């Protein structure tokens, strides 16, 4: 009789433990699947952080170049197509449909 009761208790413990593991893996708000998704988001955000830090470095170098008088003139001529008085600018565009 005692062995039957112990056997039944063991089975119920196994069932309860199995239920708990399944619940924690899939259905809980802090499930393993949620942790996996959050870890992927963290990796993506770290990559974005590195990308934006590199872009900030590029922008800082271009700002440092523009701060000088010759840098302002170079920027105005190349990017804004400005010109001095009595000066003509010719834009040559190449056709790449050959």
Closest CA to 22 of 13, 31, 12, 35: 31
Give me the residue label for tokens 């470095």.
Answer: 57
CB hemisphere CA count around 20 (13 angstroms): 6
For residues 32 and 25, is the Cβ–Cβ distance under 8 A? yes
Give the number of other Cβ atoms within 10 Å of residue 73's Cβ. Answer: 13
Full-model pTM: 0.55
> Where exactly are the structural domains of the chain?
1-29, 31-81
Token couple for 73: 């003139």
pLDDT tens string 13-47: 878 888 888 888 888 878 888 889 999 999 999 99
**What are the backbone dihedrals phi and psi of residue 21, each rounded to the nearest 5 degrees, phi first?**
-65, -45
pLDDT tens string 40-77: 999 999 999 999 999 999 999 988 888 888 888 888 88
């Amino acid at each position: 009789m005692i062995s039957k009761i112990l056997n039944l208790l063991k089975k119920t413990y196994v069932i309860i433990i199995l239920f708990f593991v399944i619940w924690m893996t899939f259905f809980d708000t802090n499930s393993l699947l949620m942790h996996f998704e959050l870890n992927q988001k963290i990796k993506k955000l770290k990559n974005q952080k590195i990308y934006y830090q590199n872009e900030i470095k590029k922008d800082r170098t271009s700002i440092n170049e523009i701060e000088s008088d010759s840098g302002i003139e170079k920027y105005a001529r190349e990017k804004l197509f400005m010109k001095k008085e009595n000066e003509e600018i010719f834009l040559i565009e190449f056709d790449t449909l050959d």
